[in-house]
Amino acid sequence: MKRLAAAVALMALALLGAGCQPAAITDEARDMNDLYNVVLIAAIVVFALVAAALVYAIVRYRRRDDALPPQFHGGGKIEAAMVGVPVLIVIGLFTISMITLVGVDDTAEPDDLTIEVTGFQFSWQFTYNLNDLGEGGGGMDAEAEGAVSVIGTPANEPVLMMPVDEPVEFVLRSSDVIHSFYVRDFLYKLDLFPGRVNAFTVTARETGDFRAQCAELCGLNHALMRFTVRVVERGEFDAWIASEAVRQLGDGARVRAR
């Protein structure tokens, strides 16, 4: 009865854990999720086959008397299978892992929207160059100059706005120590190093607010380096850029909303 209770509790915990799983909102995250599931299923199949063979051997060839079983050396076919099958599995897993990795690490096209991210003790700055707003141009004149910035503080967490259904490049820099840009529902994080530029590209497929944070212990207030990624439709993104441009750069700036 105690065992049953323990089993039920474990299953409830597993279900709870499944409910807390990240949402995998980008193409790249979905590819990684698929890869994880393929590897998991392969592992379950191998485990089941090995466990079944083990149980069969234990029952079928258990010791019945003191007679020595037939002794022989080498096994030809069975040894070839023992080496060959695992090698094939490893080659298969390596191949699909590399395909996924290359897709995830795919670099941005010149036309992609770029968001510059700077980590500092202890918050984030997100910068949108008005001449680098992607194909839609953010509703800006093609010759628009200047940049829109969002600067957070530990007490006032910043919001990173990005459009849905198009590739967005994140260019990461640090102005002091090592930080890490971690968005749980991207299933991805990348470090920010002082004196070095890191970049990655994702295409978000769901709109909404997603929690994110620094994932590299970077000082006393590291825990306050949280932010929100807000994925919105392109029209809403353009309207936000246009209003921020007017607010931050003034009407006189060479920013002309079309």
Summarize as ranges the residues that interact with Cu ion (CB under 5 A).
179, 214, 218, 225
Give the three-class secondary structure for 174. strand
Peptide bond into 122 cis (omega under 30): yes
| Shortest distance in whole angstroms from residue 230 CB to Cu ion | 20
The answer for residues whose C-beta is within 8 angstroms of residue 193's C-beta and 6 or more apart is 174, 178
Q: Which long-range contacts (CB under 8 A, 24 or more apart) does 215-219 make?
A: 215/180, 215/181, 215/182, 215/189, 216/178, 216/179, 216/180, 216/191, 218/119, 218/121, 218/122, 218/176, 218/177, 218/178, 218/179, 219/121, 219/122, 219/177
Smaller CB distance to Cu ion: residue 116 or 238?
Answer: 116
Choice between 53 and 223, CB closer to Cu ion: 223
Least distance (Å) from Cu ion to the CB of residue 56?
54
Distance in Å, CB of 114 to Cu ion, minimum: 22
Backbone angles phi, psi at 236, to 5 degrees: -65, -40
Residue closer to Cu ion (CB basis): 89 or 215: 215
Q: Which residues pair with 180 in a beta bridge?
A: 191
Nearer to Cu ion, 162 or 214 (CB): 214
Instruction: State the minimum distance, in angstroms, from the CB of residue 28 to Cu ion.
Output: 23
Q: Which is nearer to Cu ion, 26 or 121 (CB)?
A: 121
Please report how close the Cβ of residue 46 comes to Cu ion at its closest, in angstroms: 40
Sign of CA dihedral 17, 19, 20, 24: positive
Residue 221: strand, helix, or coil: coil
Write down the least CB distance from residue 237 to Cu ion, Å. 26
CB-nearer residue toward Cu ion: 173 or 179: 179
